[in-house]
Amino acid sequence: MKYMRAAIVLIILGIFIVSPVWGAFTLEDEKRVGLETYKQLENNNAFLRTKKVVDYINALGNKILAQMDTKQPFDYRFNIIRSASINAFATPGGYIYIHRGLINLAENEAQLASVIAHEIAHANLRHIADAIEKSKKINLATLAGILAGVLIGGSPELTAGVMTMSVAGGAHMSLKYNREHEEEADRMGMYYLVRAGYDPQAMVDFLKVMKRQELYSGLVPSYFLTHPGTEERIRYLDSLLQTIYRNPGKTEIIGNFKRIQTILLIVSARDQEANKRYFEENLKKNPSSVDDLYGLAITEAKMGRLDHALGLFEKALSLSPNDPDILGDLGITYFLAGRTKEAMKPLSEAVARGSEDPDAYIFLAKAHEALGDRENALASLKLLEEKKLGSEEELYYNMASVYGKLGQKGASHYYFGLYFKKKNRLDSALYHFRAARENLPPEDGRIKDIEREIQDLGKGRKPNRPSNLTTP
């Protein structure tokens, strides 16, 4: 909402930076607007950063990109907006945004791939650039703010993603695709989808899924307000199915789509009871669903019913014995239940099987430490550091703590310095870096880094804002 207000103020005041020939909205202009929009969304904490889900969406997007006949004008980036709204949008410069709500609504991987293919087609065809060229007199920075507002929501109109502004001199801007844009993106998107090996029927099916959602909920999906003409699109796509794309493809290629949806429900849940009902209803239909057993186990653990959760984890593990997600969360739950020795085996197996959950490494370190094995606790944390998973802040704090208990003061101060730097507590960071310099031998490879940190912090130069290791 703050971006929307800023945009309106700038427009009312007539503060525009306009190129002499604005009609030529260049590829460089697109890249600048796309990057600025991304930065504003990042600053607003709009992105979901769960590595397993981020990696999945990138794999899906790159699967579609691999079908391009020619070199693309942009380096594409795929991002997940944390919103529960049902939307997807391509901003200038090859930035594709998928809302969490849309991922959870899809019935299979092919349906989600169809949306990504459609958005890539919009970007390749420069449809947003076309709308911007017709707008005139919209400052590029202001435009980025408008786009960010569209994606994060605010007022009902802004959440819908339809932005029309009239400014002095009659300048006009609309971020709503027209019928020609949609037909082009559908035609090209289906071509990409089929070449990637997916079932083309998925594109039609997902439009119908969204229509059903609208009917049952009484709410118009945000996607329909930026991508209009749903009935016409369905008829047009059906004509392509009947005449060109008559052979079925696959509904799943990358795999684990249901697990991705389960993780999204888990990481974004505000109502654990609603999640519990959802997984229980699914299990009534299919008692052997590993993903629903796993989701219910996590939900029960979050609700404090650890013994019940452990039983569900064990049942899920019996059906999928090598699953690193289940192994890791089973071990964590054992640890939280005070059964540290029993936590060791599943946590060790999860890490050995390449778990991407940073908590598996953190809790394995905690378990080792609780059992008096600080050397192996440190080894688990070093492996996490090497894999670059999860929060740097938590990693640095835990490493500093273990090094301190091992009596390695220099290394402990070093990691406390990194931790406080990430927390933007610069005086504390400077103190610990200086103490690390005093306690580490001159030949230690970290001395150069420490000297640089002391120099930068001593000058009062503000370090980069804290970031997450899984930031794309």
Task: Tell me the residue type at 144.
Answer: A
In a domain, 261, yes or no: yes
Task: Tell me the residue type at 53.
Answer: V
Phi, psi of 155 (to 5 degrees): -75, 160
| pLDDT for the residue numbered 296 | 98
- 16 and 72 together in one domain: yes
- 213 and 304 together in one domain: no
- 45 and 120 together in one domain: yes
Q: What is the DSSP string of 307-320?
A: HHHHHHHHHHHHHS
- Other residues' Cβ atoms within 10 Å of the Cβ of residue 15: 10
> Which structural domain range is residue 355 located in?
257-403
CB neighbour burial string for 233-268, b if at least 16 within 10 angstroms, e if fewer:
bbebbeebbeeebeeebebebbeebbbbbbbbbbeb
- What does pTM read for this prediction? 0.81
- 375 and 417 together in one domain: no
Rg of the chain over Cα atoms, rounded to whole angstroms, equals: 25
What does the alpha-carbon distance between residue 94 and residue 355 come to, in Å, rounded to a whole number? 31
Strands 172-174 and 164-166: antiparallel
- 37 and 180 together in one domain: yes
3 state SS of 410: helix
Of 421, 415, 414, 420, nearest to 440 by C-alpha is 414
- 224 and 80 together in one domain: yes
| pLDDT for the residue numbered 225 | 56
What does the alpha-carbon distance between residue 176 and residue 161 come to, in Å, rounded to a whole number? 7
CA angle 113–119–123, rounded 5-degree value: 140
CATH, residue 263:
1.25.40.10
In a domain, 248, yes or no: no
In a domain, 285, yes or no: yes
In a domain, 466, yes or no: yes
Tokens of 332: 């964590």
Of 52, 50, 60, nearest to 251 by C-alpha is 60
CA angle 355–467–447, rounded 5-degree value: 90
Are 81 and 100 within 8 A, CB to CB? yes
Are 102 and 87 within 8 A, CB to CB? yes
As a dihedral over the C-alpha atoms of residue 265, residue 267, residue 269, residue 274, rounded to 10 degrees, the angle is 40
Tokens of 268: 């974004």
3 state SS of 388: coil
In a domain, 250, yes or no: no
Q: What is the DSSP string of 121-161?
A: HHHHTTHHHHHHHHH-S--HHHHHHHHHHHHH--SHHHHTT
* Residue at which a domain ends, from 214, 243, 272: 243
Are 417 and 432 within 8 A, CB to CB? yes
| pLDDT for the residue numbered 5 | 39
| pLDDT for the residue numbered 431 | 96
CB neighbour burial string for 278-294, b if at least 16 within 10 angstroms, e if fewer:
bbeebbeeeeebbbbbb
| pLDDT for the residue numbered 125 | 85
Instruction: Please list the ranges in the chain whose pLDDT falls under 70.
Output: 1-24, 131-178, 216-229, 460-472
Q: What pLDDT digit, counting tens, does each position of 103-118 carry?
A: 999 999 999 999 999 9
- Other residues' Cβ atoms within 10 Å of the Cβ of residue 230: 18
* Residue at which a domain ends, from 376, 403, 430: 403
What does the alpha-carbon distance between residue 452 and residue 423 come to, in Å, rounded to a whole number? 18
- 356 and 435 together in one domain: no
- 293 and 150 together in one domain: no
Of 258, 266, 330, 256, nearest to 295 by C-alpha is 266
* Residue at which a domain ends, from 243, 268, 287: 243
- 444 and 399 together in one domain: no
In a domain, 179, yes or no: yes
In a domain, 249, yes or no: no
Q: What pLDDT digit, counting tens, does each position of 156-193 carry?
A: 333 333 333 223 233 334 556 667 778 889 999 999 99
- 378 and 426 together in one domain: no
| pLDDT for the residue numbered 70 | 76
What does the alpha-carbon distance between residue 149 and residue 155 come to, in Å, rounded to a whole number? 9
Tokens of 174: 């609309």
Domain count, the chain: 3
In a domain, 329, yes or no: yes
Element (H, E) at 77: strand 77-81
Phi, psi of 424 (to 5 degrees): 65, 25
Tokens of 223: 């996607």
- 82 and 169 together in one domain: yes
Tokens of 357: 């959950």
| pLDDT for the residue numbered 152 | 64
- Other residues' Cβ atoms within 10 Å of the Cβ of residue 381: 27
What does the alpha-carbon distance between residue 141 and residue 163 come to, in Å, rounded to a whole number? 16
Query: Tokens 């697109």 map to which residue?
Result: 30
Task: List, in order, residues 6 or more apart from 466 with CB less than 8 Å away.
Answer: 392, 393, 422, 423, 424
What does the alpha-carbon distance between residue 243 and residue 256 come to, in Å, rounded to a whole number? 32
What does the alpha-carbon distance between residue 265 and residue 84 come to, in Å, rounded to a whole number? 10
- 283 and 327 together in one domain: yes
